Chain A
Amino acid sequence: MRERLIRLGFTSGALILALGVTALLISMFDHSPIDVLETAWDGAFKDGRRFSAVVNFWIPLTLASIGLVVTFTAGLWNIGIEGQMIIGAVCASWAGLYFEAPSVILIPTCILLGAIGGMLWGMLAGLLKLRFGVHEIFGGVALNFIAANIAIYFISGPWQPPEGGSAQSTPPFQAAATLPRISDDLQFNLLFLLITIGAIIAIGLLLMFTRWGLTLRAVGKNAQSALLLGVRTERVTLSAFMVCGALGGIAGAHRVLQAYSSLRPSPAGGIGFLALLVVLLISFRAWWVPFIAFALAAIIAGSTRVKTLLQLDQSLAGVLQGLIVLTILIFNGLADRLTRKDHHE
């Protein structure tokens, strides 16, 4: 109990410190922090359209983050998440462009293809690690780069618009691939929302209550011992990459279907990297993912408005996010020390 209180205190202390430093930075640029906060708040919550933009950012961010919880639990630094999202986006785009079917079939097909593409790309990172001894961080960075170039290849090559186009986008997807919105105010897609919530619950429960979850944690804590105790660590590692990749792929499908209705260069939009921050922040606890992801999505939506109206640079949001992550990590470390000391007493 006392430990929890200490942790809560430290986390809120970290948040306050991060906000304080940001406020100080804002004042240094001759802006009022209160103004900025108000502008940002309106940017995220002013009306249905603003709120919908937050949700539409939250969906892929949450999917990618929840996927990363799986790999992190297994002790894997899946930097390749961005690439898994991109390949998911590319696969979903193929269906969006060429697979002619009514909406009810086409959209699930896009999602499914996105999941499969992301899963295979994730598996590749796993195989590189297991078969060739390439650390997943290096493998991931390389695979991200390759994925980005695959997207650019399709955009400027086989999928370029008939009129020759501008090498920046494929033609728009078929009308049937347009994601239905819940209403004029709630401009997000119900199916994706349900998939995201379902993924949070499923992964949360799987990690807590199943044998698979247990082996993941065992591998994450100490792969050597787990192996000695009879855990098939290779299979566990590979499955973690595949699950994470599949979720990343669905996130990528959401990006192309929702944000662009076409394939673009860097369709993942850095969301995979942001998801890494989310997971660092919550130290891999699945249940926290949706809340932290929502906060970050709101900060980003807000900062776009701050940039537009106050002409404060948008990178301020990046600074704030970085500060939050940094202070929370530092304070977590401090809290660890403090609570450990308590145990010794």
Chain B
Amino acid sequence: MRNKLLFFMAIIMTLLALIPVAAQDDEEFIFGMVLVGPRDDRGWSQAHYEGGLYVEERIPGARMLYFESLNPSDTPETTLMDVVSLFVDEGAQVIFTTSDAFEEDTNAVAREFPDVVFINVSGDDVLVGTAPPNLGNVMAQIEIPRLIAGCAAALTTQTGKIGYLGPLINAETRRVSSSAYLGARYCYENYAGGNAEDLEFKVVWIGFWFPIPGVTLDATEQSNAFFDDGFDVVMSGIDTAEMVIVAGQRQQEGENVYAIPYNSLEGCNQAPEACLGVPYYNWGVAYKSIIEEVQAGTWESRWDWVAPDYEDMNNLETSITGFALGEGLSEENAALLQEFIDELVAYQMENQDSFFLWQGPLNLQDGTILAEEGETVSLEDIWYLPQLLEGMQGDSE
């Protein structure tokens, strides 16, 4: 009798010991993705969603949980805490909160779940020193493709007027729009044969990352207003791509106008012929390496401002951000743009601690000196840019 009991116990013990091993073989790695807009917005949120799909494709067993449109107007009754606790319940080990809008809440929620790794995209909690050890920040150096986008706009404009549709005003949106301006100014003078003083570069802020009826300005209306006022290239700094559709419609009516969307490789799709190109994110590169580090146990909280792969900015396996040419860009201008890109890459290969064209003399909008002649603006000073640059039209705060 006793022998039998021992025998059974031995079997059970062996089985119990085996189960975890068996389970580990095809174990899932669950990660969460919180999106501020819809996953198919052809812009910011879509780029993050695609980053998640990228990870699912390349890391065996990786499975994404996502929650789209977490924002006060679409889902006013849902908080980040609600969403994150659902993800954690399902076993999520890494959670990406993919908006500046989630920065404060991510910090609070991360403290509530110390065993889960949180990555807030575009935030600076780690840099400022307020992040708990399980919270990291990541951002791409979109300023580089932005410089290129600005150049493409300046090469194309006939009226010398470039419109920029911005979201809300903060350091991020100031440095990104300013980068576009620097690229535009440089190319207008050096490649298009114009005079930098004659270039008009106007920023209009709609009020939020994407248009919300009744709360923000209407992106379609603003794009039309730009074109009506003689601006013939409108660049986007917002999450969505209305300006491309508007430019496409106006081209069909015979106007010579163009748009440059933002965020997603698919940004041009709605009107390719009116699109000069798109500065886009390829978040999957960063997400994949973060998840691999967490899996290996080597991840540590840090603030990452990831540079593109200068060998080939449009290599989707290696570059977190790039600039995809659009059909609207003429062949001649595409060749000039390539010359500019070569210049830029040559600079960046030598200088990791600043961006091309961010060299003095540069003034802020109110005339304050940002960098003297020969001086270089440091990455941190660019990150925290306090105003737009001198020469740009639009509000700095």
Q: Are B108 and A269 in contact (CB under 8 A)?
A: no
Contacts of A183 in B (CB 8 A): none
> What's the Cα separation between A167 and B99 when bound, in Å?
13
Q: Which of A46, A163, A308 contacts B65 (CB 8 A)?
A: A308
Q: Does residue B340 face the partner (Cβ distance < 8 Å to A)?
A: no
Is the pair A264, B89 in contact by a Cβ cutoff of 8 Å?
A: no
Q: Is A167 in contact with B104, judged by CB distance below 8 angstroms?
A: no
A-contact 0/1 string along B78-100, CB 8 Å cutoff = 11011101110110000000001
Select B82's contact among A156, A163, A169, A304, beta carbons within 8 Å: A304
Q: Does A251 contact B (CB under 8 A)?
A: no
Shortest CB-to-CB span from A253 to chain B, Å, is 16
Stretch at the interface among A10-18, A254-262, A324-332, A336-344: A254-262
Q: Is B75 an interface residue (CB 8 A)?
A: yes
Q: State whether A307 and B82 are in contact (beta carbons under 8 Å apart), knowing that A166-B170, A270-B76 are contacts in the complex.
A: no
Q: Are B89 and A46 in contact (CB under 8 A)?
A: yes
Interface string of A142-175 (1 = CB under 8 A from B): 0000001000000010000001111111011000
Cβ-neighbour of B90 out of A169, A304, A309, A314 (below 8 A): A309
**Chain A 232-270 against B: per-residue CB contact (8 Å), 1 yes, 0 no?**
000000000000000000000000000111101110111
Q: Which of A271, A308, A314 contacts B87 (CB 8 A)?
A: A308
Q: Is B128 an interface residue (CB 8 A)?
A: yes
Q: What chain A residues lie within 8 Å of B100 (beta carbons)?
A: 166, 168
**Are the CB atoms of A265 and B72 closer together than 8 Å?**
yes
Residues of A within 8 A of B89 (CB): 46
Taking the closest CB of chain B, its distance from the CB of A148, in whole angstroms, is: 8
Known: A53-B82, A172-B104. A266 touches B67 (CB 8 A): no
Q: Is the CB of A172 within 8 A of B82?
A: no
Q: How many residues of A contact B (CB 8 A)?
A: 38
Q: How far is the CB of B232 from chain A (nearest CB, A)?
A: 30
Q: Which residues of B contact A50 (CB under 8 A)?
A: 85
Shortest CB-to-CB span from B151 to chain A, Å, is: 29
B351 near A: Cβ within 8 Å?
no
- Closest 4 A/B residue pairs (Cβ): A269-B76, A266-B72, A270-B76, A167-B168
Chain B residues at the A interface, C-beta cutoff of 8 Å: 65-67, 72-73, 75-79, 81-83, 85-87, 89-90, 100-101, 103-105, 108, 128, 168-171, 215, 386, 397
21 A-B pairs with CB atoms under 8 Å apart are A46-B89, A53-B85, A164-B386, A164-B397, A166-B103, A166-B170, A167-B168, A168-B100, A169-B104, A260-B79, A261-B108, A266-B76, A268-B76, A274-B77, A300-B77, A304-B83, A304-B86, A308-B65, A309-B65, A309-B86, A314-B78
Known A148-B215, A166-B168, A265-B72; 17 more pairs at CB < 8 Å:
A46-B89, A156-B168, A167-B169, A167-B170, A169-B104, A171-B104, A264-B72, A268-B76, A269-B76, A274-B77, A300-B77, A304-B82, A305-B86, A308-B83, A308-B86, A309-B65, A314-B75
